Structure 1
């Protein structure tokens, strides 16, 4: 009788297991990556799956040359992923939002308190029509990287005012550094990082939002002032005798080798810097450029590399939103993301002490958190403008550095192209959410 009872118990247990397996919902998640390459989302999905037996989130990785062409057809057929990572620049979100292929996330944004974490500048580029369509991902930021060993040798400190900054440049030149700030202008796009930061400083986050999504103009007074200041820095030799002589790779090689004291670049440079500098990496640090004018504040720069979308066809939107909340907004996951080199959106003051990050990454994130209350600005404006305007901007910035165009000509050309793109519907649709 005991063996019969045991057999019945084992049969019941097996039946229960089979029933649970049958009831489990498998949810496909697409991310960009090479097959076989480990991504942090797999680690987090495995932890979540272990605690939520009713669902199983399956991470599928594809290189971008496969991912991008396959995504929209698969979503249109109803056979694509239910959760996926995709771009946020002009054209990409419009294609899937206007096509009704992605879900409105506004309700989840408020239900889970994401509205208290995601910066407005990120909301602006992941929303349209008063609704949130995506959750920003993989934050990058820019600041001035500098060689502390050089500064210490010359008795210099990171500047806190424009007067300090001007004196710092003068001191470095007198010490024989004919290129105080490495630019990499031969590649054009590094100059646009300066443009993004300075446009934000001179116009403020509200001013940028006005021109990006309202009736503002790129040739208004504040943007002209920013272009004028940038050209003046080039003319004064702040970026060396020829700011477009070297490309980004050459400048960074010289910087990590200790031949250039400073360069304005992004968080993406840190891993290569660690490899290049080796044991000398402790000689480097970062600071925020002080205000260029008296009335300005320091506005941290933040740019998202991509965003998370939920398929409109999914019948598991609530389950996916819960997973997204775990993945991007719970303290444990945010620390895991940081340790893997992926910076989540929003404040990080609670996570940074627990994360095991390189000093430069810690310092850069701490700088952003310190001034976050002033409002954040776009790190890379070129990722949120139409491709024709980006090309015009790159060429114009290089001409600006060389004195081949005036600041007025530069901003007027941008505004003319912007109005044309706006008329053709090429720009991002107005962002922001309805109250």
Structure 2
């Protein structure tokens, strides 16, 4: 979700569940940080001797807690020589504590960290976390995880370039922005689920005429960031994926002020003018918006896969989830905003990096993906092969698996700079309200992106 931190914090509760005790970290003395794992990579975890591995996570909510508890139990049974000392905190608490711990004498061995520039990027720059390329090759992560997924945990060694370079983290779960569809409303209007972008827009025109008291597309943009999940898929219809990645990751040399981005911004304006999108969207909250959709208001909801569990509880079989349909000229290639959950990383000061890598491999392997699915989470790879707990979530699994296979994920646009979340959120509110033209909207984004990327991209 975007804004990234707001999205992740919303998924996490507050708690402290430990296999031994809630502790600030291991008590071993910390070696000097190095840029690579020390010595030869060892993948036989059973042969590592007696090891205590300190693990910090934010898997405290519902299915998150269920999956990690189950996997931890299974890991300990398989490797009784490795004792897990688990420290579990809310996302906000973990985020604050990790920053202090990594530079201290008692960091965790393996931990979850937000993959944005202000967290993982800073840790890479400070050489506080290990590059995982040697382990990725040894365990085959570089083959199981496509580049469209690995890019979200990849940086240049100096931490300046995001989205390419060396792998520093491994996620368990994925997410993508798509379209929730009320199939009953389409049927009543004599429509079928759109397969192309042209059909999608044409269906909104038909729905607007046949259901004149509501906008076809539901959006609650009071919090500013939800509109980024409408603009992102629209942008992907007009702008080449490589260009979106360059802008979204804040890499040097790109430009928001192009004819393609102008078309995307103009589409938002056109949708408001045609009544596809309510001009009152800026006054409606995100939760009230999707909740009204769940109760039958509107036909389409453009939002992320993280809403599926809540929608599945109330919409039964009336609602499905599809990826944003591609333009007919794209030949079926689907591209949309998406990413991963919080990745797992290894402290550069860990005395047990091989055990930490074995743990990461265990909680991200094929068996782990099945456990994730069984506990209601969205596996980041091998998704389409999993059995979901309900029909809507199965649609989500199928959709995410498809877009990963096509390498069709492009980054959340607020990744670009530390301030882009606020910048693009406010600018989209102004665009929807008619306070900014498409050109003025893009000028605002270019100023933020250009200033930062030239210095840091």
Between stretches 157-166 and 308-317, larger displacement belongs to 157-166
Answer yes or no: is the 8 Å Cα contact 2:244–2:411 preserved in 1. Answer: no
Matched, 1:250 2:288: yes
- The equivalent residue for 1:11 is none
Matched, 1:413 2:439: no
- The equivalent residue for 1:266 is 304
Length-normalised TM-score, structure 1: 0.84
Length-normalised TM-score, structure 2: 0.80
Deviation of 1:66 after TM superposition, in Å, equals: 3.1
Matched, 1:169 2:207: no
- The equivalent residue for 2:273 is 235
Distance 1:340 1:301, change over 3 A: farther
Aligned pairs for 1:168-207 (under 5 A) are: 168-177=203-212, 178-207=214-243
Deviation of 1:93 after TM superposition, in Å, equals: 1.2
Aligned pairs for 1:305-384 (under 5 A) are: 305-329=341-365, 331-350=366-385, 352=386, 355-378=387-410, 380-382=412-414, 384=415
Answer yes or no: is the 8 Å Cα contact 1:389–1:418 preserved in 2. Answer: yes
Q: What is the RMSD computed on CA atoms of the aligned residues?
A: 2.5
- The equivalent residue for 2:42 is none
- The equivalent residue for 2:10 is none
Between stretches 337-346 and 35-44, larger displacement belongs to 35-44
For 1:269 and 1:379, the matched residues in 2 are separated by 19
Answer yes or no: is the 8 Å Cα contact 2:417–2:448 preserved in 1. Answer: no
Deviation of 1:190 after TM superposition, in Å, equals: 1.2
For 1:327 and 1:301, the matched residues in 2 are separated by 25
Matched, 1:155 2:190: yes
| Aligned length, in residue pairs | 398
For 1:328 and 1:127, the matched residues in 2 are separated by 17
Secondary structure, in 3 states, of the residue corresponding to 2:120?
helix
1:203-258 Cα shifts (integer Å, max 9, x gaps): 23212233332412122232222112222122211113533242222221221111
Matched, 1:224 2:268: no
More helix as a share of residues: 1
- The equivalent residue for 2:27 is none
Aligned pairs for 1:72-83 (under 5 A) are: 72-83=99-110
For 1:245 and 1:293, the matched residues in 2 are separated by 34
Secondary structure, in 3 states, of the residue corresponding to 1:218?
coil
1:313-349 Cα shifts (integer Å, max 9, x gaps): 12222222122112112x2211101222332323423
Distance 1:379 1:237, change over 3 A: farther
Deviation of 1:91 after TM superposition, in Å, equals: 1.2
1:269-328 Cα shifts (integer Å, max 9, x gaps): 1222234x2xx4211112223234634731144222311110111222222212211211
